[in-house]
Structure 1
Amino acid sequence: MRFLPLAVFVVAAAAIGGTMLYRTGQQEEGVQTAATPDRIAQGKAVYADHCAACHGVNLEGQPNWRSRKPDGRLPAPPHDPSGHTWHHPDEMLFVMTKFGPQATAGPGYQSDMPAFEGVLSDQEIIDVLNYIKSTWPDEIREEQARRTEVSRRNSS
């Protein structure tokens, strides 16, 4: 219990650091945030290699993704429009992917999703997110972009 404040600080620092990296474009050298066709194709390939096994080849997630498994963890949610990925701003999606769900949900949150820091580059994470977003209908993409803009205004 005496380490709880330190754990909260570490998670908050990682989340803020990841958010600042994403927002300011100061990711690894040469990272492109624009969703160009080439970057989206790269994201699709990275998704197939690192994400599809859990989140589904067609972004459909695991069955019964809203119901906890016997171990108390939630199955991988879909990234298609039926899921909640589009409810989150870009910064949160980036931080969650890079540092793991604990970076946004708190240090005690249990998840099967790993942190991809050291596995995927910042460019690969952004490409995957852009690929996922490219599959959504216009109205979902527009709403997610609005939520990202609101989040950025509120954090300024």
Structure 2
Amino acid sequence: MKRKLIVSGIAILSIFAAASLFLLPGGKAQAFIDPSDASLVARGRSVYASHCAACHGARLEGQPDWRTRLSNGRLPAPPHDASGHTWHHPDNVLVDITRNGLVPGKTAPEGYQSDMPAYAGLLSDEEITAVLAYIKSHWPPELLELQRKVTLEPGGG
């Protein structure tokens, strides 16, 4: 009987450990960040206002002419609403960009320079998840569904 309890306990711990890779921010794989969680979106709204809105706009509209390079060769901050390209990326990439900035050879082309700061050390993984839920809460259902598929497809998330 005791042996069955130990084996059962190990099995349950193994299941939780495997699930944490998909459910916890910062795991090797990301689950879909669901913007239907009102408390998560509310927290994300606050984080966005404090850390993102200055560049990406209070209404997620991005900077003017965001596709036209500035005099320094860098691109302005893109919008995070449906008019931008944020929804094209799986959640694990969005988390990586927010945490580490745009990294040439990883999340940006080689040699690419960006004004996007890295928020590792400034924002927790939970705050990054919340801000992404807030951004995603503004997307129309059809774009949100496309982004969910990109996130959950093998190799995407």
TM norm structure 1:
0.76
- The alpha-carbon distance between structure 1 residues 68 and 146, as it changes in their structure 2 partners (threshold 3 A), is same
**Deviation (angstroms), 1:23:** 4.0
Instruction: For residues 100-127 of structure 1, give each alpha carbon's deviation from its aligned partner in whole angstroms, at most 9, with x where no partner exists.
Output: 1114115632111100000111000000
Distance 2:148 2:25 in 1: 20
2:148 is aligned to: 145
1:72 partnered with 2:73: yes
**Deviation (angstroms), 1:64:** 0.3
1:46 is aligned to: 47
1:63 partnered with 2:64: yes
Distance 1:75 1:22 in 2: 34
- The count of aligned residue pairs is 131
CA contact (8 A) 1:69 1:75 kept: yes
Between structure 1 and structure 2, the one with the greater Rg is 2
Structure having the higher helix fraction is 1
Instruction: For residues 12-52 of structure 1, give each alpha carbon's deviation from its aligned partner in whole angstroms, at most 9, with x where no partner exists.
Output: xxxxxxxxx97452649xxxx55411111000100000000
Q: Percent identity?
A: 53
Q: Which amino acid aligns with 1:64?
A: D
TM norm structure 2:
0.76
- The alpha-carbon distance between structure 1 residues 143 and 26, as it changes in their structure 2 partners (threshold 3 A), is closer
Runs of 4 or more, structure 1, over 6 Å off, are none
Q: Which structure 2 segments of 5+ residues have no match?
A: 1-19, 28-32
1:132 partnered with 2:132: no
CA contact (8 A) 1:40 1:131 kept: yes
